[in-house]
Structure 1
């Protein structure tokens, strides 16, 4: 069979090709944002989700650094102290990361950033790195929800901190690009609203026990008692155990190191009822109330009270003493023989000796000896 289709000549092909690629930083960043909205339109598949993550991270870096450039070209270098103008003009240098750009915009330029926006960008960076180096598994709703927050932040950033520095012609061009991106963002938000409408009846009975998900930022993580795993109803992210979920939540909402301590200021404490160290002392539920919520037993506390002995444990509601000192009000923990301490129902909380071991006492099961402080030697 003869192919009668005329093939373009080499000369024609060269004439059709652009002589150069010209994408100034702001235009480049806005083009990335438009690409994100296009990839998330309709029902995105794995390929669309991949490029949405990659292009959103690229947009964030380009636009943040574009504002640094307005301040001084050396600020986009990984090490501004070693910046050379010749290297900058040749594009032959290692640039700063998105997190470094945020810090410099804050410390040098004086732009303040919301903690949630910072966290959203940090999660985006981790997702991009995972995708680039070893692959990423996540759900479409999670990507779309995260993308909506980052897109919203970047549009605000461009409008407030880049647009005022442009010429009149550049502003006209930017406004057209922002309108296209905003339209795409609106479509993503409509999807989020539609999904919420479907989930509302499922979550409605558990609003008091529902908190924000660190993956999709939606208040759709229902805390259920003694659950083997916790699942976000919106993005379907699964936590294998409630301690990881509690630690992630604390890290997301406070930036505090996610570990249980007996420090009165710690956002993660040992629950006074179940004894497990998964009580988030300031959790905002889906009703908008701030409560103390245990991610293990799902009990809610309007107020938490320190044990009167200042031992570091919390007292149950209506009580002055923790469960240990309620049993032995006239003793200090260090004076108690482990065989005298009650072993609590394991379905309700850990055995008391295990709890005390966690709090710095060399406590062993009843058959193994007595109780001493870790830094003290046991009497012969």
Structure 2
């Protein structure tokens, strides 16, 4: 049993070490090379810490295939460890660990950044990286606090944990300072009644739905079509391909005003990312003929104006 406990400490210490050493290059605005490896290491460290929490329930749970769990392979490290999604599932459903939805969302976004850095050209917005790391960091710190007893771990682990806490405060300072600088611009947008949404790149509530479609915090900018797609995937956590493949509903439709495929369907409203119009759910209705949304107040026959005109033309022509 003592040997297993030592391995337990090693995994936790390695996770903390990955994160601690990766934070300084991000805080110090190092070059792209250093930033790339920082993100890779922070994600790796986060996964190790999640597995450490899972391992406190039972060591076999960190094997991808529990049926092949072997104490000798655990000691040597020569085994296929649980994937991120498997780890999350077991933490929540076996170990009964509560993981906030935002925590999973931010960690998955960091994983996506890591994947792009590993397989494609590295092109990321510095402020967006800092913001994403800051949010992941805050949740990792909370998960450690709520599920692990730091004092039971090695002195080195305790030192690394303390160092991470100290550096995390600098991320908070960065976020607070940036938001303070944006206060005037945000106030102007508020007076102009410009709607703000969460940015799908940095997750700050600083992306105005106006002609520019540019996040004030990180500078993220794209077309309305791409922004709504990114918003649905990264903020709402809905993958269009998976939803459509499984026969589900993808919450983006054609706008009845500008006809762009940028109308976000939310719980109680429709919001167009192109023309910025917004409606309550009871103000729009699906046409019984073409299934496109239209203003229900315009007609009362369950049919949009285009379909009405089309059917009138067919009737007149005798088709």
What TM-score results when the alignment is normalised by the length of structure 2? Answer: 0.81
Task: Give the whole-Å Cα distance in 1 for the aligned partners of 2:118 and 2:307.
Answer: 57
By relative contact order (CA 8 Å, sep 6+), the higher-ranking structure is 2
| Aligned residue among 239, 243, 246 for 2:228 | 246
| Aligned residue among 36, 42, 49 for 2:28 | 42
Instruction: Give how far 1:337 is off.
Output: 4.4
Whose Rg is larger? Answer: 1
Instruction: Give how far 1:154 is off.
Output: 0.5
Counterpart residue number, 2:44: 58
SS class of match (2:148) = helix
1:301 is the counterpart of 2:279: yes
The answer to whether the Cα contact below 8 Å between 1:272 and 1:322 also exists between their aligned partners in 2 is no
Could you say if the C-alpha distance between residues 224 and 338 of structure 1 is closer, same or farther in structure 2, counting changes exceeding 3 Å?
Answer: farther
Counterpart residue number, 1:134: 120
| Aligned residue among 92, 101, 107 for 2:78 | 92
Could you say if the C-alpha distance between residues 31 and 178 of structure 1 is closer, same or farther in structure 2, counting changes exceeding 3 Å?
Answer: same
Instruction: Give how far 1:199 is off.
Output: 2.6
Q: CA RMSD in A?
A: 3.5
Alignment of 1:208-227 (within 5 A): 208-225=194-211
Could you say if the C-alpha distance between residues 337 and 171 of structure 1 is closer, same or farther in structure 2, counting changes exceeding 3 Å?
Answer: farther
The answer to whether the Cα contact below 8 Å between 1:314 and 1:321 also exists between their aligned partners in 2 is no
Task: Give the whole-Å Cα distance in 2 for the aligned partners of 1:293 and 1:233.
Answer: 20
Counterpart residue number, 1:314: 293
Instruction: Give how far 1:31 is off.
Output: 2.0
Could you say if the C-alpha distance between residues 105 and 279 of structure 1 is closer, same or farther in structure 2, counting changes exceeding 3 Å?
Answer: same
Task: Give the whole-Å Cα distance in 1 for the aligned partners of 2:64 and 2:88.
Answer: 13
The answer to whether the Cα contact below 8 Å between 2:260 and 2:274 also exists between their aligned partners in 1 is yes
Greater shift, 174-183 or 294-303, is seen at 174-183
Could you say if the C-alpha distance between residues 135 and 83 of structure 1 is closer, same or farther in structure 2, counting changes exceeding 3 Å?
Answer: farther
Counterpart residue number, 2:217: 234
| Aligned residue among 232, 247, 260 for 1:276 | 260
Count of matched residue positions in the alignment of Structure 1 and Structure 2: 304
Greater shift, 119-128 or 74-83, is seen at 74-83
Instruction: Give how far 1:39 is off.
Output: 2.1
The answer to whether the Cα contact below 8 Å between 1:271 and 1:277 also exists between their aligned partners in 2 is yes
Alignment of 1:15-34 (within 5 A): 24-34=10-20
The answer to whether the Cα contact below 8 Å between 1:34 and 1:181 also exists between their aligned partners in 2 is yes
Query: What are the ranges of 5 or more consecutive residues in structure 1 without an aligned counterpart?
Result: 1-21, 284-289, 341-369, 371-378
Q: Deviations over 1:286-338 (max 9, x none)?
A: xxxx8532011112334552338645333338545599634665x8x6x4547
Instruction: Give how far 1:106 is off.
Output: 1.4
Instruction: Give how far 1:109 is off.
Output: 1.0
Counterpart residue number, 1:119: 105
Task: Give the whole-Å Cα distance in 1 for the aligned partners of 2:157 and 2:204.
Answer: 31
- Give the ranges of 4+ consecutive aligned residues of structure 1 lying more than 6 Å apart after TM superposition: none
Task: Give the whole-Å Cα distance in 2 for the aligned partners of 1:322 and 1:314.
Answer: 14
Task: Give the whole-Å Cα distance in 2 for the aligned partners of 1:218 and 1:203.
Answer: 12
Query: What are the ranges of 5 or more consecutive residues in structure 2 without an aligned counterpart?
Result: 1-7
Counterpart residue number, 1:325: 304
The answer to whether the Cα contact below 8 Å between 1:306 and 1:313 also exists between their aligned partners in 2 is no
